[in-house]
Structures are given as C-alpha cells and as structure tokens.
C-alpha cells in the first residue's frame, strides 16, 4: 500500500491503559501514589547514604546510582501519564516522544547494567570476602558505575535511532501510555524487520547477558552460603541477596516479556511496562531500606539528630 499521499506524523495520540473515565481516575490516584513513594523513597535513600559515613561502601554507592536512575526513569514517564489521565487530549509531539523514548531507554538500560554490577559486588563480598577491599576499590566502583551509564546511553541511542528513522505516516494512535519502541514500530509505514532485529540484539546485550551474569553470580553465592557453618551467617547472606533477587525478578522478567518475546499482546506489553517503569523504581528503596539494618540505623540516627527527645525537669 503506497503512502505517498500521506504526510509525516508530527504528533502521537497516546491511548493509555483505559478509556473508561472511572478507571482513569483510579489509575491517577494509583500512579500518583506510586510516584510520590518513588520520589520520597529514592531521595531519602540517597540522602542517608550521603550523610552517614557508615554507608560509604561500594554496595551503597551502586545503590545510589540505581536510585538516581530510578528517580529519573519514573519522572520521565509518570508525570506525563498523570496529566493524560486527567485530560481529554492525550497528544504528544513527535519531538517530545523521541526525547521520552531516548531518556526512557537511557535510564532503563542503565538500571539493567547496574543490577548486574551489584550482583558482582555481592558475589565478591560473599564468595571472596578477604580480597573484597582490594578488588572493589573506589576506582573500580567508579569505573563500573560509569560503564553502566555509558552502556545505557549507547544502547538507547541505537534503539532510538532504529525506531525513529522509520517513516511514520497515516495512523498516529499509540496503544500505550508512553512512547516505547515496540508500540511505535507498529505504526511505521514501512518494513520494520531490520529495526526489530537491531532492538532484539540490543536486548540481548542489555537484558540477557546481564541477567545471565546475575544468575551465575547467585549460583556461586548459593553454593558458598550453603557451605557456611554458621546459621546466622547463612541467614544474613540470604537476606542481603534476597532483596536484590526480588528486584531482578520484577525488572528483568517484565522487560524480557516486552522486548525479547515474539509479538506479545498489546495488553500484556502495557502491563509489563507498568511493572518495570513504575512498580520496580518504587520497590527498590523500600526493599533495600526496610530489609537492611544499616539503612534503618542511619535513619534512626538522622531522626534522633534532627528531632532529639528533650526531657524538661521542673525544679521542686
């Protein structure tokens, strides 16, 4: 079918998750709550790590990078989704859509790399504790964090380029609540197999390879932990790594469904996107803080310092 008489699309209509007004109101309340918890939780966690010297360790350094990526990730998506839930005109310009897609991929891909780096940090800490200080030096930590952000930028540029270089003419209705590559490719007025292959290969690099490294790391960790003679040591190790695994399962599982499975349904893709774009950034600070004694201790110290209990004794 020829598209010569059709003009280039200059804006997209985001159809969202539902067209029912009552459902949209409920989603607005839900998404607003998720976003507020995400912002508060991640900012609080980064602040605690900054002010408490006991948290100046490689694990919390990577966790701060993850919190920053989570915060930017959510801010790139949820505020616009909230506005569209309350408005009748759910329009986004082509330029803003391109910017949202690029930023979404940068922060999302960076999270993928950071989760793999954090699993390596846990592997060294548990399986090779005596050499941990000499292996995870601050120079190495900075290089690993910088490599994570760099890989996120590189993969996002490739995915965005192969998505937006295609001609978009005719329909501009995106069956999604934000601009994401799989949802946009459906609207392209040309063959998309090359772009889909490029995005798939980038998915292998930033999804399958990191998750494979994570599984290998935790396989070694489990073997080491099982061999521990101390029950308390085994419990502490499993508790520390369990929080990381919960994040990995939520984030990688939903992302792989969207980017690595052949032609999943639109509703399935949107539901998966809600998990890795909204739920996981909210869960990260909750899981790492509520299950971590060091973070809870830092919070108590800050609370005591700022709100000391003062007893007033009246003279007799």
In a domain, 198, yes or no: yes
In a domain, 4, yes or no: no
Residue with tokens 């996107």: 273
* pLDDT values of the chain reduced to their tens digit, one per residue, 316 residues: 344 456 788 899 999 888 888 999 999 999 999 999 999 999 999 998 898 888 899 989 999 999 999 999 999 999 999 999 988 889 999 999 999 999 999 999 999 999 999 999 989 988 888 999 999 999 999 999 999 999 999 999 999 999 999 999 888 999 899 999 989 999 998 889 999 999 999 989 999 999 999 989 988 888 888 887 777 667 766 766 776 777 788 888 888 888 887 666 677 788 888 988 899 899 888 887 666 777 777 777 777 776 665 444 444 4
Residue with tokens 């994401």: 180
**Separation between Cα atoms, residue 56 and residue 134, nearest integer Å:** 16
In a domain, 301, yes or no: no
In a domain, 167, yes or no: yes
The two structure tokens encoding residue 290: 């509520």
What is the span of the domain harbouring residue 51? Answer: 11-295
**Separation between Cα atoms, residue 141 and residue 121, nearest integer Å:** 9
In a domain, 310, yes or no: no
**Separation between Cα atoms, residue 37 and residue 17, nearest integer Å:** 21
Helix H segments across the chain? 21-51, 58-86, 94-127, 132-135, 138-164, 181-185, 193-203, 209-226, 231-259, 266-274, 280-290, 293-306
In a domain, 51, yes or no: yes
**Separation between Cα atoms, residue 72 and residue 273, nearest integer Å:** 16
Which of these, 44, 123, 89, 88, lies nearest to 288 by C-alpha position?
44
Number of compact structural domains in the chain: 1
pTM (2 d.p.): 0.88
**Separation between Cα atoms, residue 38 and residue 287, nearest integer Å:** 12
In a domain, 312, yes or no: no
**Separation between Cα atoms, residue 236 and residue 244, nearest integer Å:** 13
The two structure tokens encoding residue 261: 């499975």
In a domain, 94, yes or no: yes
CATH of the domain at 214: 1.20.1070.10
**Separation between Cα atoms, residue 255 and residue 281, nearest integer Å:** 13
């Amino acid at each position: 079918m020829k598209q010569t008489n059709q003009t280039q699309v200059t804006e997209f209509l985001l159809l969202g998750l539902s067209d029912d007004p009552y459902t949209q109101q409920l989603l607005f309340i839900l998404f607003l709550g998720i976003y507020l918890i995400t912002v508060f939780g991640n900012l609080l966690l980064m602040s605690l790590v900054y002010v408490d010297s006991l948290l100046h360790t490689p694990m919390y350094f990577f966790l701060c990078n993850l919190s920053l990526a989570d915060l930017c990730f959510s801010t790139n998506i949820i505020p616009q989704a909230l506005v569209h839930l309350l408005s009748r005109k759910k329009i986004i310009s082509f330029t803003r859509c391109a910017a949202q897609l690029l930023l979404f991929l940068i922060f999302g891909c960076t999270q993928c790399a950071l989760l793999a780096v954090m699993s390596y940090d846990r592997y060294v800490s548990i399986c090779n504790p005596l050499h941990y200080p000499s292996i995870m030096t601050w120079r190495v930590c900075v290089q690993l964090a910088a490599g994570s952000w760099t890989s996120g930028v590189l993969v996002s540029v490739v995915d965005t380029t192969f998505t937006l270089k295609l001609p978009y003419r005719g329909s501009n209705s995106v069956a999604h609540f934000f601009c994401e590559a799989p949802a946009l490719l459906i609207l392209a007025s040309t063959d998309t197999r090359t772009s889909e292959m490029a995005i798939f290969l980038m998915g292998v690099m930033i999804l399958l390879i990191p998750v494979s490294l994570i599984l290998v790391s935790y396989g070694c960790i489990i073997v080491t932990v099982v061999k521990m003679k101390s029950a308390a040591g085994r419990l502490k190790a499993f508790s520390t790594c369990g929080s990381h695994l919960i994040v990995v399962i939520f984030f990688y599982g939903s992302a792989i469904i969207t980017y690595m499975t052949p032609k999943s349904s639109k509703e399935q893709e949107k539901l998966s996107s809600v998990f890795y774009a909204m739920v996981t950034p909210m869960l990260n600070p909750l899981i790492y803080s509520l299950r971590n004694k060091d973070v809870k201790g830092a919070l108590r110290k800050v609370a005591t310092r700022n709100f000391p209990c003062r007893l007033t004794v009246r003279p007799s």
